[in-house]
């Protein structure tokens, strides 16, 4: 019973498979072609046979006319061949001569019925085809030819000559040959079609099997099908999809690991500070220091969680933009004023260079966050006695831009391609900023700020460029299509928010 069920299941899979339907359509088309071809061959052969019979009958009657000069006809004995018959009648309808297997009365009845069904001209030979019974078991199609006889301009009688339309049964044999040949051709085509379809669909089965077996922990597998046809292209596309999925899963795992690491450090500090404070009675200054450290770590975690939530919304495409015409220089000045207090506490001076009008179309809140992240990044890594961050804007050639520069230690060239990767830091040892006893210090960096900067720039149709010289400083420049340009009306908001870091 189980074997029957498996056989039925396999048959059902085969019937509903694409290769079976391809073979079925191929067989249907081939059957139609063979049918049309067989009919064409049959009717062409029937026409040729009929023409041969009529020509032969005309030659036989012409021989009689030549022999007797249209006078009284005397037919030689055994003039006709097997299954043929000949009838000569005078002008009064009396039988002059008769030869063949049919009687004269039978021939006259057949000819009368044939002439009624096929009216003829009495002045010229006429022919028609009719069916008559030569014996009780067989009905044969006969070709009749009726020729008038004239003598000295007067109608003296008629010659009626009849012959089987297909004396050698060639049409019957042809039908058999066409039928058997078509069936054999169709059987070979079906077998070959199934083999070819199975061979052609083999890469699809390979892809299906691979897709069924591959899990999120086995995305490194590849099909590696090298054929250059459409299925090979499908396999290569599938391999490309697996590569992208593998990279996405790897980014996700790395993201989760980095986020866990970033959260573990402040949670550990908070636990240590609270444990130390509760272990014994402390002075007010010690409690104040512990609370300051806890407050600082809490601020860092709040900032990290907010950045993670922002990136999650960006990845999901749920960060709605409120695009309006605005002045980029006004947004830059607003961001600089907002962070001036933080910069002062860290001994950093914010300078505003030339801030001419730079019209763009964008979301003010996101653009302010973008510029703020660049300023905070400069504050975080500013070094030396004269720590300075310079902000400039401008507009030219249909582009508006904002530039944030610092005079910090600079960034080595090998780090520049990775600056916008999430949780990437130039110096991993400086993952967290040192705090003083009160919890005050440089802004804590989550490693997500530049990823957010790049995403905001892209969804506004812009791009971020960074240049840096070790020991001299770093410059970030973000360019946007200027408001009113053709690029401005087409690009803002067109970047894929699901891939903010490229």
What is the chain's percent helix, strand, coil content, to nearest 5?
55, 20, 30
For the full predicted model, state whether its pTM sits above 0.75: no
Question: Is-contact 82 101, C-beta < 8 A?
Answer: no
Q: Which residues contact residue 363 at a Cβ distance below 8 angstroms, ignoring those fewer than 6 apart?
A: 321, 322, 323, 324, 460
Q: What's the pLDDT score for residue 69?
A: 46
Question: Is-contact 163 185, C-beta < 8 A?
Answer: no
Closest residue by Cα to residue 339 from 370, 369, 376: 376
How many CA atoms are closer than 13 Å to the CA of 226, on its beta-carbon side? 0
Question: 218 - beta bridge partners?
Answer: none
pLDDT tens digit sequence for 151-166: 777 777 777 788 877 7
> CATH classification of 318-490, choosing from 3.20.20.10, 3.40.980.10, 3.30.450.40, 3.30.565.10?
3.30.565.10
Q: In this structure, is the dihedral angle defined by the CA atoms of residues 31, 33, 36 and 42, taken in order, positive or negative?
A: negative
Q: What's the pLDDT score for residue 355?
A: 86
Q: Would you write out the chain's pLDDT as a tens digit for each of its 502 residues?
A: 555 555 555 555 556 677 778 888 888 898 999 999 999 999 998 888 888 887 887 777 777 665 554 445 566 666 677 777 777 877 777 777 777 766 777 767 766 665 565 555 555 555 555 544 444 445 567 777 777 777 777 777 777 788 877 767 788 888 899 999 999 998 898 888 888 887 777 777 777 777 777 776 677 777 777 777 777 788 888 888 888 888 878 777 777 776 776 778 788 888 888 888 888 888 888 888 888 888 888 887 887 788 777 777 776 666 778 889 999 999 999 999 988 888 888 889 998 888 888 899 999 988 998 999 899 888 887 777 778 999 999 988 889 999 999 888 888 888 888 788 777 766 654 444 444 444 445 455 567 788 889 888 988 899 999 999 888 889 999 999 987 665 555 555 544 443 433 3
**14-200 and 318-490 agree in CATH topology:** no
Closest residue by Cα to residue 502 from 420, 423, 447: 420
Q: What's the pLDDT score for residue 486?
A: 54
In CATH terms, the fold of domain 14-200 is Beta-Lactamase (3.30.450)
According to DSSP, the β-strands at 348-352 and 387-396 are: parallel
pLDDT tens digit sequence for 420-478: 877 776 665 444 444 444 444 545 556 778 888 988 898 889 999 999 988 888 999 99
Q: Which two tokens stand for residue 386?
A: 């004269």
Q: What's the pLDDT score for residue 478?
A: 93
Q: Domain coordinates of the chain in residue numbers?
A: 14-200, 318-490
Backbone angles phi, psi at 144, to 5 degrees: -110, 140
E strands within 118-212? 126-135, 138-151, 154-164
Closest residue by Cα to residue 298 from 444, 436, 429, 434: 444
Q: What's the pLDDT score for residue 24?
A: 84
Question: Is-contact 360 323, C-beta < 8 A?
Answer: no
What DSSP letter does each residue of 332-386 carry, written as one string?
HHHHHHHTHHHHHHTTEEEEE------EEEE-HHHHHHHHHHHHHHHHHH--SSS
């Amino acid at each position: 019973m189980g074997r029957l069920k498996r056989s039925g299941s396999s048959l059902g899979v085969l019937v509903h498979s694409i290769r079976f339907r391809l073979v079925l359509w191929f067989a249907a088309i081939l059957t139609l072609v063979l049918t049309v071809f067989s009919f064409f061959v049959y009717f062409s052969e029937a026409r040729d046979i009929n023409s041969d019979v009529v020509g032969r009958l005309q030659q036989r009657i012409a021989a009689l006319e030549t022999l007797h000069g249209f006078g009284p006809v005397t037919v030689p004995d055994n003039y006709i061949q097997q299954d043929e018959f000949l009838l000569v009648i005078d002008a009064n309808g009396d039988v002059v001569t008769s030869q063949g297997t049919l009687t004269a009365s039978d021939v006259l009845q057949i000819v009368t019925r044939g002439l009624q069904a096929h009216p003829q001209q009495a002045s010229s030979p006429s022919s028609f085809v009719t069916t008559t019974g030569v014996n009780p078991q067989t009905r044969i199609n006969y070709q009749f030819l009726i020729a008038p006889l004239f003598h000295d301009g007067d109608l003296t009688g008629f010659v009626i000559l009849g012959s089987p339309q297909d004396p050698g049964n060639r049409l019957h044999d042809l039908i058999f040959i066409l039928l058997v040949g078509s069936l054999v051709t169709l059987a070979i085509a079906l077998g070959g079609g199934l083999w070819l379809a199975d061979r052609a669909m083999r890469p699809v089965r390979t892809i299906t099997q691979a897709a069924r077996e591959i899990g999120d922990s086995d995305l490194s597998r590849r099909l590696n099908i090298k054929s250059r046809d459409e299925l090979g292209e499908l396999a290569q596309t599938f391999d490309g999809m697996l590569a992208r999925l593998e990279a996405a899963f790897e980014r996700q795992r790395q993201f989760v690991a980095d986020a866990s690491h970033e959260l573990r450090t402040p949670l550990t500090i908070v636990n240590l500070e609270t444990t130390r404070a509760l272990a014994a009675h402390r002075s007010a200054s010690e409690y104040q220091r512990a609370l300051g450290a806890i407050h600082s770590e809490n601020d860092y975690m709040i900032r990290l969680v907010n950045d993670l939530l922002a990136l999650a919304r960006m990845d999901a495409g749920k960060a709605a933009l409120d695009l309006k015409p605005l002045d980029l220089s006004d947004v830059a000045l607003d961001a600089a004023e907002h962070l001036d207090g933080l910069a002062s506490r860290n001994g950093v001076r914010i300078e505003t260079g030339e801030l001419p009008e730079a019209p763009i179309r964008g979301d003010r809140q996101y653009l302010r966050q973008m510029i703020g992240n660049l300023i905070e990044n400069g504050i975080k890594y500013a070094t030396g006695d004269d720590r300075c961050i310079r902000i400039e804007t401008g507009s030219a050639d249909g582009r508006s831009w904002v530039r944030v520069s610092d005079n910090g230690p600079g960034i080595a060239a090998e780090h520049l391609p990775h600056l916008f990767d999430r949780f990437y830091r130039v110096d991993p040892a400086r993952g967290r900023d040192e705090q003083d006893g009160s919890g005050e210090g440089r802004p804590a960096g989550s490693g997500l700020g530049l990823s957010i900067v790049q995403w905001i720039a892209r969804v506004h149709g812009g791009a971020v460029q960074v240049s840096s010289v070790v020991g001299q400083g770093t410059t970030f420049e973000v360019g946007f299509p200027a408001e009113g340009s053709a690029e401005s009306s087409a690009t803002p908001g067109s970047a894929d928010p699901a891939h903010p870091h490229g």
